[in-house]
Amino acid sequence: MEAVEMNSVSLKRPHSEDDVASADEIKRQKILEKSKAGSDSGQSIETVTEQLKDIKSEMIPNDESEEQEEEDLGDSDEDGDPESFADMMKHGLTESDVGITKFVSSHKGFSGILKERYSDFVVHEIGKDGRVSHLDDFSVPVDDEVNFEDPSEETFTVLSDEDKQRLEELQLFKNKEASVAIEVIEDTKEKRTIIHQAVKSLFPGLETKTEDRDGKKYIIAYHAAGKKALANPRKHSWPKSRGSYCHFVLYKENKDTMDAINVLSKFLRVKPNIFSYMGTKDKRAITVQEIAVLRITAQRLAHLNKCLMNFKLGNFSYKNHPLKLGELQGNHFTVVLRNITGTDDQIEQAMHSLREIGFINYYGMQRFGTTAVPTYQIGRAILQNNWTEVMDLILKPRPGAEKGYLVKCREEWAKTKDPAAALKKLPVKSYQSYVWNNMVSKRIEEYGLRAVPGDLILKGATAVHIEEGDVDNYTIHDVVMPLPGFDVIYPKHKIGEAYKEMLVADNLDINNMRHKIRDYSLSGAYRKIIIRPQNVNWEVVAYDDPKIPLFTTDLDKLEGKPLPVLPMDGKFRALKMEFSLPPSTYATMAIREVLKMDTSIKNQTQLNTTWLR
């Protein structure tokens, strides 16, 4: 099959990640100088760990700024200075840099803008039972058994801001006080009961008692179970007939999943690790997913709807189990591509091809970061045990928007002060993705869209080769390819040799991908080379105002907002598309196949010259 050439057309307006401040560059330079002092090419992981300990003051963010970031819930990720962003992106990656070079469809590409508004990209999680998660119910379940922990509305207002501050400091062991006394101004049994309930409900780990002091009544709050109580909410007050986990649907706008969990845990005053979920979701999007939390009542969760912006919680239920990563069947996407240029025939051909053939199952650009140092280079250096290069790649000043893996590394360091834990946030598996992308491009170039002898298919959990006489029983949609790892079977054709050649060039042994640090060992896995989306639907709509929404969200429906009124003959056209994808596949790669374009921010920045003026 002939390789289809890439047409460079505009996909989306790039939105700036946080610009790198000059003060941070000076800090990183200091860190780099310290890390290189006395280092050599044989530097060990232990040495790296010690150096990270030595420089922790430079890497730990200011407590005040960290708290401000969490509390500033209303801010969206607005575009920064376009000129500085464009300058940074000159050093970024393109698709060809990470092995994304082929298309499988034959239609002519056209342009469109993805995520002109973050609400143009909506993701609904598909649970393991095949049910699509929707936010469509704010009601709170009623138990047969009355629970003292179920807070009334007055619970949230009976304590003053000063009381809450003192109780939070007590709960988190931020001061030396053994207890906090709250005077009961209106001394009635009912009032005292509400205060007891408020303290226990809002500050897990604290117990209360009533004392008389100088003729006045006080509620005394104190620790009953020490620091462990924060991670393990009280068991004795939870009804036995109720499931231990409150499951709910989280609707969020322009926040990633971990940011959302951190915000919820802060407002509930609990540890983030009592939350569980099946998968993480995009930031610049509207996403709907199921979350479970240990022994927090639906009443407390529902109250957050009055406190938080960009979040809504609903569809509450109590169950006996948490959620586990990877349990989901996939995600359903609703995507609007604005200001499209394709003709009706081009759009029909593109969408029919997406539905019937699918797209190459590349790892998308977000897997590889947005800076001048690709994440796969970090991963490769880790696998090579080249720790000096690892530190150099991480810490050296460089152009490019700094986000993703490096931020997660530093956040982990700030949170735990554990260098080993911080290093685990580094993207060793991004190198697997880089190799796989290159190999699947070669596979498509060599053999096209047909199954051939030597290809691999999965039978249960086992990969087997397609034999010559059996090839007609399989299609390209059955074929898988391995990610490089120590227990992977490699195909009996040219791609097997190509894998070996690529890893040898990087000084890695394809037959021994074990690493002395277990977390960095690459285990074998298989990945389909072509994904055919399910539930594919589309329509072209006209519009005049780029700021108006082109469809209603779950929240719009709950709040009774009417459908947008669109002109019959607007000056702009948009393609609204819906499709479902399995886990670990990238919607941007499906959209890339429709538009026939490079999805990298670098390419988008260069193409969107009008926006940058």
Catalytic residues: 282
Number of other residues whose CB lies within 10 A of the CB of residue 189: 8
Q: Which pair of tokens denotes residue 433?
A: 């993705």
CB distance 491 to 455 below 8 Å: yes
- CB-based contacts of 238, cutoff 8 Å, min separation 6: 147, 149, 244, 295
Which residue type is seen at 356? E
Strands (E), 426-531: 456-459, 462-465, 479-483, 525-528, 530-531
- Compute CA distances 302 → 158, 306, 311, whole Å: 18, 8, 11
Strands (E), 187-239: 206-213, 216-223
Q: Which pair of tokens denotes residue 170?
A: 């007590």
CA-to-CA distance for 203 and 234, rounded, in angstroms? 11
Q: Which pair of tokens denotes residue 489?
A: 């079977």
User: What angle, 0 to 180 degrees and rounded to 10, lies between the N-to-C axes of helices 494-505 and 428-447?
Assistant: 140
CA-to-CA distance for 549 and 568, rounded, in angstroms? 16
CB distance 136 to 251 below 8 Å: no
Nearest CA-CA partner of 288 in 325, 258, 314? 314
**Hunting for tokens 């869209």 — which residue is that?**
449
Q: Which pair of tokens denotes residue 421?
A: 């834990």
Q: Side-chain half-sphere of 183: how many Cα atoms within 13 Å?
A: 6
Q: Which pair of tokens denotes residue 389?
A: 């290069």
CA-to-CA distance for 467 and 488, rounded, in angstroms? 19
Phi-psi region of 130 (alpha: psi -120 to 50; beta: other; left: phi over 0): left
SS3 content of the chain, % helix, strand, coil (to 5): 40, 20, 45
What 3-state DSSP class applies to 366?
helix
User: What angle, 0 to 180 degrees and rounded to 10, lies between the N-to-C axes of helices 587-595 and 344-356?
Assistant: 140
CA-to-CA distance for 511 and 29, rounded, in angstroms? 38
